[in-house]
Structures are given as C-alpha cells and as structure tokens.
Amino acid sequence: MATTTVDRSPAADHVRSSSVLVVLVTRDAVGWLRGCLESLAAQTHPRLGVIAVDNGSTDGTLEILRRALGDGRVVALGENRGVAGALTAATQLPPAQSADYLLLVHDDAALAPDAVERLLEGAEGIKGVERVGIVGPKIVDWDEPRVLREVGRSTDRFGHPYTPLQDGELDQGQYDRVLEVLFVPSAVMLVSRGAWQRTGPFDERFEGHHDDLDFCWRARLAGFRVLMTPLATARHRDATARGERGQEQRSRSTRYYAERAALASMLKDYGVLTLLWLLPAYTVLGVARILFLAVSRRFEDAFDLLAAWGWNILHLPGTLRRRIRAQSVRSVADRKIRPFMASTFRLPRWFERAEEILDEGLEELEDEELGRPLPRRAAGVAAGHPVLLGSILAIGLGALAVRHLVGPEVLSGGALASFPADLGDFFAELGSGVRTTVLGGVQPGSPALAGLGAGSWVAFGSTSLAQKILLGAMPALAGVAMYRAMARQTGSPPSAVVAAAVYVLSAIMLWAFSEGRLSLLIVLAILPLASDRIDAAFARRAPERPFRFGVGLGVALSIGAAFAPAVVLPIGAFAVANLVGGRRRGRGSALVALAVVVATLLAFPVVLAAAGEPASAFTSSIGTADAWFLLRLAPGSGPGTWAVAAFLPLAAIVCFAG
C-alpha cells in the first residue's frame, strides 16, 4: 500500500459541483435499512441523488424504500441478482449515465454526514494524484465504531484476498492516511464515470463474492488509481455474514468463493507473460495444498478447492471473453500493480496465533512458575504444549533422518525401486501390458503409476526428486495421521503425541524407511486414517455429511490398494472388529460398503488383478518367521529393529493387562 496526504483546505468548487448518484442495493433489510437511509439523508454534499435497487426482498424492504424515496427512485428486480445485477439495472437509467460519480452502498452500511464530500476530495482534491477512479472510506463496525473493519485490501500474487487488519483491531489512528490499495470493498465504493465506462461492469458470475476485487483490479489495468481515504467513514453491519438475512443460504465455504474469484481474476487480469510462469506455480502450490488438506483429513476444504477449480474450468469461455474486454483497455503493466499486492508467502494467521499462544505461555511462566525449579518448569511447558514440543522434536529428528536425501544424487540400494528418468514413462506404462517401474509385472497397470507421474510433475518434472520427497514425507504423514486419529478418539493431545511418536519410531516404520520400501510406507500412512474413519463410522454419533465421509474413506482405501493391495487385510480386520463391537452396526456397514465401492472404482485395475491372482496379491516374500522379531514388530534386520524396539508391543501388553 502507498500512502499520501489529503489537501485539508475547503473543498474546491469543482469538487462540490460534481454530481453523485447513490446506488443503494437492498435485500431483506428491514432491521437496519432506516439507519442507512437516514445517513444518506444527512449528507452535506449538495449534488446527491439516490436510486435504490431491490434484489427480491420479501420482508417489507420495498415498502420502506418507496415511502422514503418514492416509486420513481426504486427499482424492484423481483429476484436476487447480486450487486452486479443491481448495478447493471441502475446504470441503464438516464440519471446514472449522466452522473459524474456512482456511489455504491449496501443496505447494511451507514455513512458519516460528510462521507460523500470526503470521498470526492479523495477522488479530485489530492494534489499531484491524478486518474483516481475508485475511492473507499474507512469502514468500522456497526455496533462498535472503535473496531476497524476495512481500510482497503490487497491480494497475494495468486489473487487471494488479504487485509492488513487483525480480528477486532481497534482504530487508534494507525490508518489515518490516504492509502493507495489494490481494491476497496463494495459496501461503500465511489466510482468515477470514466472508470465505470472504461472498466466495464462487475462480473455477475461471482454472485456478490469478491466481485469488488476483480472490478478494482480491472480498473487498475485501465490506468485508474484506487484509494482509501480515512477522512470518510462508514459503519458496516455485514448482515449477510451474521446470518441476519432470512433467506440467505450460503451453499459453499468462504474458501470456495475466495479461490473461485482468485483464479478467475488471475485469468482475466494478468498479462500473458505473467501467466506463463504464474499458472504453473499456482498449480504446484494448489496441488500441495490439496495434499495437505487430504492428509490432515480436511476433505471438505479440499473438495471446495477442487470445486473452485471446476467452476473456473466450466466457465472458462466466459472468462476468456471478459479477459479480452479487460486487456483491450489495459494501459498499465503488471509490474506497476505488484507493489499493491501482499507477499505470496506472507506469514499465515495460524502462525501468528501460535506466536500469541507462546507469548501467553511465557507470561504464565513468569507469573506462576518463576519460583519453581527449572526441570519442573520445563515439564510444565511440555505438558501445557505437547503438540508444539512434539512438532519441534519431530522437525529436528526428521531433518537429521533425511539429511542424506538432500543433493543431486539419485537414490539407490536396499529395496528402493528405481524410478524412470522421464515422468512420461509412468503414464506410458500405465496402459502397457509390461512395466519396468516401481510396481513391475504383467498385471494391469495400477493407478499408482499416474499418481507417481503427477507427483513427478509437481516436483518440477524430476522423478528422482519426487522419489526423495515421497520417501522422506511418508513417515511424517503417518505421524500426523496417527496423532489426529488418537486425538479424536482419546481427546487427550499429550496421549495423541505419544502415540504418534511411538508409531513413527516403531520397528516396522524405521525398517521400511531404511529399506526404501515406498509401498509399505504409504500403507503405514493410510492405516491410522482408515482405522479412525472406520471407528467413527460405527460410533454412536453419526459423521457429518455421511456420503462425503464414506467417499473420503474410499479415496484413502484406493490410494493404499493402488500401492499395496494387501492393505485390505488389516483394514478388513478393523471393519470386522467394529462390526462385532461397534455401536451403530447398520450405519457403519453402509458407510464401509460405500467406501469399498468408491475404492473399487478408483483402483479397478488393481482389484481386477487381485481377483485373478489373489495368492500373489495378498502374500509377500519379505519378512521373517522369527518369534523374537515378530514380538517387536520387526519384519527384518536393520536400523530401528534392535531389541529396544520391543518397547511397543510390551507397552501394549502392560496397558491392556492393567
């Protein structure tokens, strides 16, 4: 954001003579509309008109508008067309076409008496600042005016909206300078006639979600500045977010709408040269986000991300038409807009929250534990923050374990299968009758080949890098999966951390890692997730969205089966155990059956091969019959399989015996 100052002298004659038409967009606003209308009636600007456009209100909003404004200044659309549809209807009227400025106002916003004059001063009264096309006010909370809500916004390079404000941040004058920003919210937005005519209308496909971002970005492309002036203030109720509109039903999450608008805005507003490098980077990071969400079992968030991509693919022809319109008026290069964007790798809010937790913990230590011995203080910190402590230790041990994977050398040795030099070989062999890659054999090609090829593409086309990432990440993912499973089942984070640590340090995990057995590592990462989902399916409380729950379990099963068909044996044992002792056998059986159907469809070639030769699919030539090795869950000799590994089964025996 860039800052400047306003000429504090009385408004110039040309500022006071500029005509402003307020376009008031309403829908089911009986509870707060009068406050908005009273604020408009109190404006000090002499040349001000008001047109109200109603989006199909059913609660008496139209009657209030007609009594306050008269029938001639109220447009009733009869249906909800969003902000874009309301603006389109308003701009077709003669008053809108002749006005110098349009002032878009939502029905849940109330302006300060001098807000319009101050907005015009920002548009025309700042010395040395030309071509100001859009101006927004400082927006505060409707009920608590000391709380800031909007001071202009930015995005990262990928179009994701970003605000500099913290939740509940108080207005202490920290933003009392005019800011040049990427976009201002449409709750209160002053737009010059030149900017409106050259930029074009709002994108009606966004349905009121982040269409202000796209519009302001396009205005910047056309050479217009976007400012936030703190001299103009407005209160905003944000009734939609509060759920105060009776018929408001948001079918998707905020993540979905933000991702949908971000990608569409990128495709429309970036230049071709920028898109050539930005789209591949966006794809790589997007796939990484989906994998992270899937591993952390946030399947709904992952689904919303995929749905946003699907929406953009479906609407790509319309996006390209709008891109032609936006690029035809371009007068500013992308590099001129980047200073108003936030860093792509800005500090995430969850990290800031973690820092707050640490600060609170340190304060507690100072107040309550200052006189305690150091060992007891350390134990208190560990008990109070088990996840943080476990994460720090895991990162340290993990870095030590994978230090030899860093470098250009190609991995070899042990049971590690060699990857082809070209990622295209994975896809070629997927349809071949004979394969030489990780799965080998003459049976039908496993979908795992496509997954390995896609992973190699994400790893910048390097199959050796993908191999290293897969080998190093699987133990960590297995630990995360075990932690989440145990945290849900026990409700005790310390116990879950211990369970995850024991699982990652078990003999079978360390043996598989040291031998480079990727298929076994993937199975070990899948098992905690699958067992936890099966347990939840048979639990007394039904899972939220059972169908999506069953599909998620099926996806996990298909991934495991694609790499190691024998994964169905332990998962089948989990299902049988819950069928015998579960509380809701009917529902659990139905969800498991749904998961089996989904897994069968996704991993059909593997299922077909296993059905034809079950002996080879469900047996293994590795392992040992030595009872002492079996007692400590060690399939063979190697690092991590020494006698000390017996701690895991012995601890389990003591636990169950007690």
Residue 70 belongs to domain with CATH number: 3.90.550.60
Share of the chain above pLDDT 90, in %: 31
Q: Identify whether 631 is part of a domain.
A: no
What was the pLDDT predicted at 466? 85
Tell me: pLDDT of 459 over 60: yes
Do 298 and 376 lie in a common domain? no
Q: Is residue 468 part of a domain?
A: no
- pLDDT reported for residue 12: 52
**Taking residues 623-649, what's their average pLDDT?**
63
How much is the average pLDDT of 66-76? 92
Could you tell me if 134 and 260 lie in one domain? no
Q: Is 60 a residue whose pLDDT tops 50? A: yes
- Specify whether 198 is located in the same domain as 86: yes
559 — phi, psi (to 5°)?
-65, -45
Average pLDDT over residues 366-382: 52
Which of these, 529, 610, 504, 512, lies nearest to 562 by C-alpha position?
Answer: 610
Q: Where are the beta strands (DSSP E) in 434-528?
A: none
Of 507 and 594, the structure prediction assigns the larger pLDDT to 594
Tell me, yes or no, whether 93 and 228 share the same domain. yes
What confidence score (pLDDT) does residue 247 get? 55
**Does 172 score more than 50 pLDDT?**
yes
DSSP conformational letter for 166: P
How confident is the model at residue 655, as a pLDDT? Answer: 61
> CA-CA distance, 342 to 347, in Å (whole number)?
10
Does residue 287 form part of some domain? Answer: yes
Confidence of residue 501 (pLDDT cuts 50, 70, 90): confident
Averaged pLDDT, 384-388: 62
Mean pLDDT of 96-113: 94
Task: Kindly state whether residue 584 falls inside one of the protein's structural domains.
Answer: yes
Final residue belonging to a domain, choices 307, 323, 339: 323
For 351-368, what is the mean pLDDT? Answer: 42
Residue 293 reports pLDDT greater than 90: no
Mean pLDDT for all residues in the chain: 81
State the pLDDT confidence band at 350, using cuts at 50, 70 and 90: very low
Rounded Cα distance between 508 and 574, Å, is 19
User: If we measure between CA atoms, which residue out of 642, 393, 638, 645 comes closest to residue 500?
Assistant: 393
Cβ–Cβ contacts within 10 Å for residue 397, how many? Answer: 14
- Asked whether residue 443 carries a pLDDT value surpassing 80, the answer given is no
- Do 140 and 284 fall within a single domain? no
Q: How many domains does the chain have?
A: 4
- Answer yes or no: is pLDDT of 477 > 60: yes
Going by pLDDT thresholds of 50, 70 and 90, the confidence category of residue 583 is: confident
Q: Which residue segment(s) compose the domain that 32 sits in?
A: 2-242
**How confident is the model at residue 354, as a pLDDT?**
39
Query: Higher-confidence residue: 14 or 485?
Result: 485
Residues 293 and 189 placed together within one structural domain of the fold? no
Mean pLDDT of 319-324: 94
- Residue with the bigger pLDDT between 618 and 156: it is 156
pLDDT of residue 349: 43
**399: confidence class by pLDDT, cuts 50, 70, 90:** confident
Given a cut of 70, whether residue 4 has pLDDT beyond it is no
Residue 446 lies in a domain: no
pTM as predicted: 0.56
Question: Same domain, yes or no, for 149 and 201?
Answer: yes
Residue closest to 418 by CA, chosen among 471, 477, 476, 475: 471
Q: Is residue 316 helix, strand or coil?
A: helix
Q: Is 229 in the same domain as 145?
A: yes
**pLDDT of 429 above 90:** no
User: What is the total residue count of the chain?
Assistant: 658
Summarize pLDDT for 594-621 with one digit per residue, the tens. 999 998 888 888 887 777 777 666 666 5
Q: Has residue 221 been placed in a domain?
A: yes
Q: Is residue 422 part of a domain?
A: no
130 and 46 in a single domain? The answer is: yes
Percent of the chain with pLDDT over 70: 79
128 and 48 share one domain: yes
* Phi and psi based region of residue 48 (left: phi greater than 0; alpha: psi -120 to 50; beta: remaining): beta
Distance from the first to the final alpha carbon of the chain = 63
CA–CA dist 79, 461 (Å, integer): 50
The count of other CB atoms within 10 Å of the CB of residue 461 is 12
Whether the predicted pLDDT of 370 surpasses 60: no
pLDDT at 438: 46
Q: Of all helices (H) and strands (E), which one includes residue 375?
A: helix 374-384
**Between these two residues, 147 and 490, which has the higher pLDDT value?**
147
Q: Which two tokens stand for residue 572?
A: 């089948």
Predicted confidence band of residue 540 (pLDDT cuts 50, 70, 90):
confident
- Domain identity same for 263 and 372: no
- Picking from 591, 579, 479, 471, the residue whose alpha carbon sits closest to that of residue 519 is 471
Q: Is residue 292 classed exposed, middle or buried when 0-12, 13-18 and 19+ CB atoms within 10 A define those classes?
A: middle
Amino acid code (one letter) for 394: A
pLDDT of residue 149: 94
Residue 533 falls inside a structural domain:
yes
Once rounded to an integer, what is the mean pLDDT over residues 532-547?
85
State whether 144 and 223 are in the same domain: yes
